[in-house]
Structure 1
Amino acid sequence: MSPNYIIRPVLMGLSLCFGLAGAATAAPCGNTADGFSGWKAAFAKEAAREGVGQRGLAALADARYASRTIAADRNQKSFRYSLDKFMKVRGADTIVAQGRKRKARNAAFYAALEKRFGVQAGVLIAIHGMETGFGGFMGDSEVVSAIVTLTYDCRRSDFFRPHALGALKLVDRGAITAQTKGARHGELGHTQFLPGNALTYGVDANGDGRIDFYDLADAMASTANFLRQKGWQPGQGYREGQPNFAVIQQWNAASVYQKAIAIMAARIDGG
């Protein structure tokens, strides 16, 4: 599952498009693997201008065209399901049942997160369960290759460009490597952060001096920080129509996903 965005089809009359507006020297995109190597060389110049260092640039050079990522990007059907079907397909009852146990077993941990960020445990646990089955499967695609491929692909180049730069900067910082595995769209860790968001909202919760999205404490604190920074109001509700539902909408733009998270979270929290 890919947080923070939903597919919006874009009609394109040209086979090539360009990056962010104003970037006159932006690397041209492409719709097949042909030209990927040349694009990477051009994008490396952009990345260097944006502050990516040698380790990040080396990871970019080693990135491979991710055919499975492109296939997945063209085939996200679940967001078009009804709410009932979506929740059944995604195992909502299981997430709630396991989520209640996790909250009870780690009550002090979730209470500390709520005290620090104001985000209720049920929301964090519901996201964790929805995204990776509580860390059971965090992806089998190389994050850098996936996100770089999506930036090269013409369909949503502008959306993924900051996340590609974010991934390369995370490599520079030692938070990930070129081999780090994540979801098909380059999301990483327990709650599937897109790299640009990981770079911006990451929190070192366990105090080991690095932000590791494959560490539960760091991942959950980072998720809570994302929500708080997006406007989460401590003590306010998060069901549809309540103040914090608008913040859940910023985690993932698919309405069926938003509603499912709010419903599961309320059940986990006992509401």
Structure 2
Amino acid sequence: MLVSRLAALGLAATLSVAMPVAGMGATCGNTAAGFEAWKADFARTAQRAGVRQAGLNALAQSRYATGTIAADRNQKSFKYSLEKFMQVRGATTIVAQGKKHKARNAEFFAALEKKYGVPAGLLIAIHGMETAFGNYMGNSQVVSSIVTLTYDCRRSEFFEPHAIGALKLVDQGAISTATRGAKHGELGHTQFLPGNALEYGQDWNRDGRVDFYDMGDALASTAYFLRKKGWKPGRGYQPGERNYRVLKQWNAATVYQQSLAIMGRQIDGN
């Protein structure tokens, strides 16, 4: 999702020394040294938060994700101009494919809008932007990635509830230690952070479980997230309109919000 990708850009740069993590007795760190000791302490925090044995086992099995840390230190695309950002993200292709996607799944998107009030174009733009319509949902282990980011000193407090969320999703059987997602632990078709997945997940196909790797569940969860964050059915989402500010809840980068508004409008033909 990436409220996560930009949520804390502009905060203090990576700290050069270890420091206590708020709410924990453990010590954060900027290298793999200390990770195992930190996990042992964090297990107590997780247990107090209601994580059960399966989740605790997943925490114990997690590994320091060097690729995640490298990605976290190198988020350049959000600094591009709007034109450059849309070019890099393939906006023209997303819109063209998005229109076909909408036509093929017209009843599904109509049902989503009827229930949650979010138009097809915006949901499709998010789907295209996040994972190229499910064609690439990431190749990083979700639990290890999110646990590593919680241990890392740069944004420990931001990621802690998502680490707890990931471990609870393991408890529920929604994900496992093998589940793959994006570098920051985002999972599924629209790249939900685990804490948000736990809170806003919707079982659209009514099979008894929320599966973010199922398009129906993922897009319904995305629509529900936006609705709970203040989306008003029937109101516009272009700059200056009522729902535009809700896009910030999905991703904090202005250039991302602008791109979604443009692509969503174009996909819907407005």
Q: Is the 8 A contact 2:95 2:263 kept in 1?
A: yes
Is residue 213 of structure 2 the alignment partner of residue 211 of structure 1?
no
State the Cα deviation string for residues 153-190 of structure 1 (Å, max 9, x = none).
Answer: 00000000000000000000000001100000000000
Q: Secondary structure at the match of 1:184?
A: coil
Once residues 232 and 156 of structure 2 are traced to their aligned partners in structure 1, the CA distance between those partners, rounded to angstroms, is 33
Alignment of 1:54-133 (within 5 A): 54-133=53-132
Once residues 4 and 229 of structure 1 are traced to their aligned partners in structure 2, the CA distance between those partners, rounded to angstroms, is 18
Alignment of 1:128-143 (within 5 A): 128-143=127-142
Equivalent in the alignment of 2:237: 238
Q: Is the 8 A contact 1:183 1:192 kept in 2?
A: yes
Equivalent in the alignment of 2:12: 10
Q: Is the 8 A contact 1:4 1:250 kept in 2?
A: no
Shift of 1:28: 1.2
Once residues 18 and 242 of structure 1 are traced to their aligned partners in structure 2, the CA distance between those partners, rounded to angstroms, is 42
Aligned letter for 2:38?
Answer: W
Once residues 79 and 12 of structure 1 are traced to their aligned partners in structure 2, the CA distance between those partners, rounded to angstroms, is 18
Once residues 125 and 13 of structure 1 are traced to their aligned partners in structure 2, the CA distance between those partners, rounded to angstroms, is 38
Residues 215 and 18 (structure 1), Cα distance of their counterparts in 2 relative to 1, 3 Å cut: same
Alignment of 1:184-263 (within 5 A): 184-263=183-262
State the Cα deviation string for residues 46-101 of structure 1 (Å, max 9, x = none).
Answer: 00000000000000000000000000000010000000000000000000000001
State the Cα deviation string for residues 125-144 of structure 1 (Å, max 9, x = none).
Answer: 00000000000000000000
Q: Is the 8 A contact 2:15 2:153 kept in 1?
A: no
Aligned letter for 1:2?
Answer: L
Report the number of matched residues.
Answer: 268
Shift of 1:4: 4.3
Q: Is the 8 A contact 1:122 1:264 kept in 2?
A: yes
Residues 223 and 12 (structure 1), Cα distance of their counterparts in 2 relative to 1, 3 Å cut: closer
Equivalent in the alignment of 2:25: 26
Q: Is the 8 A contact 1:3 1:193 kept in 2?
A: no
Once residues 187 and 3 of structure 1 are traced to their aligned partners in structure 2, the CA distance between those partners, rounded to angstroms, is 10
Once residues 12 and 252 of structure 1 are traced to their aligned partners in structure 2, the CA distance between those partners, rounded to angstroms, is 21
Aligned letter for 1:241?
Answer: G
Once residues 116 and 19 of structure 1 are traced to their aligned partners in structure 2, the CA distance between those partners, rounded to angstroms, is 41
Q: Secondary structure at the match of 2:154?
A: helix
Equivalent in the alignment of 2:165: 166
Q: Is the 8 A contact 2:150 2:157 kept in 1?
A: yes
Alignment of 1:259-270 (within 5 A): 259-270=258-269
Say what the alpha-carbon RMSD is for the aligned residues.
1.2
Once residues 174 and 68 of structure 2 are traced to their aligned partners in structure 1, the CA distance between those partners, rounded to angstroms, is 22
Is residue 50 of structure 2 the alignment partner of residue 51 of structure 1?
yes
Residues 70 and 116 (structure 1), Cα distance of their counterparts in 2 relative to 1, 3 Å cut: same
Q: Secondary structure at the match of 1:244?
A: helix
Once residues 245 and 260 of structure 2 are traced to their aligned partners in structure 1, the CA distance between those partners, rounded to angstroms, is 12
Q: Is the 8 A contact 2:137 2:191 kept in 1?
A: yes
TM-score, scaled relative to structure 1: 0.96
Once residues 3 and 192 of structure 1 are traced to their aligned partners in structure 2, the CA distance between those partners, rounded to angstroms, is 10
Aligned letter for 2:175?
Answer: I
Extract unaligned runs of 5+ from structure 2.
Answer: none
